[in-house]
Structure 1
Amino acid sequence: MSRKPSFANLRGTTPAAPAPAPTGSNPAQAGAGEATDKTPPSRQGRKQIAGFFSPEMSFAMHMLARRQGRSLQALMTEAFNDVLRKHGESPVGD
């Protein structure tokens, strides 16, 4: 298995010129996979919380979400609110 290249080997090199901006009035029609500056409405005013878990935990949480017809994010919200209550804090919700 090969290793991912390190960014350390790029030190001291000059950066390549930025790609020209796509022409057109609709940023949604930009090339496939190109990111736009606009944050999706579903993520505006929100912060990401992430963690690394064992494959078994991941599988168990995904299976529970599937059985309950809920999203993994909804289960994590419930879990975080339970932890807040356990430690005497007010649950935040959503």
Structure 2
Amino acid sequence: MSGTGLRSPRHFIVEHRCDLVERISLVEPLVDILRQEDVLNQGEYETIRAGETRAEQARRLLDAVIHKGRKAMDVLQEALWQQDPYLMKELHR
């Protein structure tokens, strides 16, 4: 579809990446869910958890999921609704 000017809308995760890096309070439960759903492999799981700060872990998580595409981002978005509905409501405003 190159050159047609048609683009799918940016995914919520991409659109709010910076806010999510700053505001995700608990990364580990999200990483556990994504590992259980086979979105992340063991190496990615360990790399994310090895981040020294919460923000670094969140950044690694978001980058890995965005790189995998829309379906992976959908799983993360659902996990965010489960783990932090208040944050998700705020970002959907």
User: Which category describes the TM-score, using the shorter chain as reference length?
Assistant: under 0.3
Give the structure-1-normalised TM-score.
0.27
Give the structure, 1 or 2, with the largest relative contact order (CA under 8 Å, sep 6 or more).
2
Which structure has the bigger radius of gyration?
A: 1
